[in-house]
Amino acid sequence: MILIGTLFVVAACGDYQPFGGPLPFPTPAQHDLVVLTRPGALTYTADEQGNAVGIEHDLAELFAQELGVGVRFVVVPPEQMEAELANGRYHLAAAWLSPHADEGYAATPPLFQTRDILAQHEASLPLTDLGQLQGKTVHAMAGTRQAATMQRLSRQIPDLKVVEVGQGTILDLLESLGERQVEYVAIDQTLEEIANQYVPSLRTSLPLSAEQPVVWLLGPHPNAELAARANAFVERIQHDGTLARIEERYLGHVHRLNQADVTKFLGQMETTLPKLRRHFEAAETVTGIDWRLIAAIAYQESHWDPNATSPTNVRGIMMLTEETADRLGVGNRLDPRESILAGARYLNLLKEALDAPEPDRTWLALAGYNLGQGHLNAARSLARQLKADPNAWYEMKRILPLLAKPQYYERLKSGRARGGEAVILVENIRSYYDILVRHELPARPVAPGVERMIGMQGGSAPGLKLRH
């Protein structure tokens, strides 16, 4: 598994060379777009195949594509960000940054809005006023905006102690909070719902700062043409849906599970999953689908109960219909080994029928797992009629619920379907998968020639587990 600590050493070295003064405008023949960033769940991380992912990463790559140039990321630890911002050896800084205190630093229009908030354990007395921080100890990741916010508050609130943590990630720190090893943690509000997937005992009640924009910084001496192009790019993606699509890729599913859902799932991972893991890993060996995704589907379908049966006679740990089981040669739907392998094979069949790019292809196939291929095809046809992209999950999660409305399903041969339930199923599976990726190691490498599933979130930055 790739660690973030490795990433920034590699990315910051490579062919990164010091420059004197502003960088020239990037051109296809001579210069890449140089992007300064830092490791983090929202900025730049790696999936288990070593591919760089993250909201800021994806946006910067899109901007480079629009310019027709390559992109080179300079990834530095948070505590080095301020020094790197000052040296000007970059075209833009995309690191979940707010406008710089020095007004000489140019910035794009806002990409997002956020604020700093206080996280605490659900069992502790909620704090609702900044004055209640007196005498408290608050942890924050070193070099972050939250650390700066807490240092500022410590000069105003007596006996407020701030501990800046330089090891691990914010999710590691929040897990320490969940285990009552620390009392309070300052976090970015955007991370709250991501963190709730892993730390169900986390609660937030106290804003630590006013709402602030997230921008790209263009340095103290930006290239005028590049600044104009960057500003125009940000304005465009705000209005044409591009920004919303990327946000959905990383954050669109994280609000579905509640505290009880996550707590129960974590408990089942301890007690039930070890008994079934060998079957999930065996299915990965045959199908190439990450065993943790197969396990996430099985949990959503049956809560890992091999004997589960619905009123409509859908049965087994993967809740197969009789028709699907017969098609895949399943002799006993209540045999977990047979059911798990058949469910994984069925997902592959659904994926093979789609021409969408990953990860949308997998998410659409998951919807088909719930609805059946006929209803999924009908929904995609309806999307085309409504001028929506049938290969984009961002679009299809809006279209699928229409299958339950007469004005739409009456024009379709497949008839009515509970498309809204399929959307919920897909987003729940994505969250269960994120949790499994964080806590469970991948299977040993599959045999040569067996294709591994492309990561559902490009690695889902939130699902990266660091060990330190």
CATH of the domain at 328: 1.10.530.10
d(CA 405, CA 275): 42
- Our count of domains for the chain comes to 3
Which residue of the set 48, 56, 84, 301 is catalytic?
301
- The answer to whether 179 is a known catalytic residue is no
Helix 273-287, helix 336-352: angle, nearest 10: 40
pTM of the model: 0.83
d(CA 204, CA 124): 11
Contact 403, 409 (CB under 8 A): yes
Are residue 274 and residue 384 in the same domain, yes or no?
A: yes
Contact 250, 457 (CB under 8 A): yes
Residue 244 covered by a domain: yes
Structure tokens at 353: 């029928």
Backbone angle region of 96, left / alpha / beta, with phi > 0 → left and psi within -120 to 50 → alpha: left
Are residue 180 and residue 96 in the same domain, yes or no?
A: no
Structure tokens at 27: 């051109």
Are residue 367 and residue 328 in the same domain, yes or no?
A: yes
Predicted pLDDT at 255: 86
Are residue 74 and residue 86 in the same domain, yes or no?
A: yes
Predicted pLDDT at 445: 63
d(CA 244, CA 241): 5
Are residue 435 and residue 296 in the same domain, yes or no?
A: yes
Predicted pLDDT at 223: 85
Domain of residue 69: give its range: 4-110+213-251
Residue 468 covered by a domain: no
Predicted pLDDT at 199: 94
Residue 196 covered by a domain: yes
Predicted pLDDT at 19: 39
Residue 86 covered by a domain: yes
Are residue 287 and residue 423 in the same domain, yes or no?
A: yes
Are residue 101 and residue 239 in the same domain, yes or no?
A: yes
Are residue 273 and residue 410 in the same domain, yes or no?
A: yes
Are residue 94 and residue 220 in the same domain, yes or no?
A: yes
Are residue 161 and residue 225 in the same domain, yes or no?
A: no
Are residue 230 and residue 360 in the same domain, yes or no?
A: no
Are residue 237 and residue 353 in the same domain, yes or no?
A: no
Predicted pLDDT at 412: 83
Predicted pLDDT at 20: 40
User: Which class for 446: exposed (0-12), middle (13-18), buried (19 or more C-beta within 10 A)?
Assistant: middle
What CATH number did the domain enclosing 226 receive?
Answer: 3.40.190.10
Predicted pLDDT at 22: 60
Last residue of a domain, one of 229, 251, 273: 251
Predicted pLDDT at 341: 97
| Number of other CB atoms surrounding residue 169 within 10 Å | 23
Low-confidence ranges of the chain (pLDDT < 70): 1-22, 29, 445-468
Contact 291, 301 (CB under 8 A): no
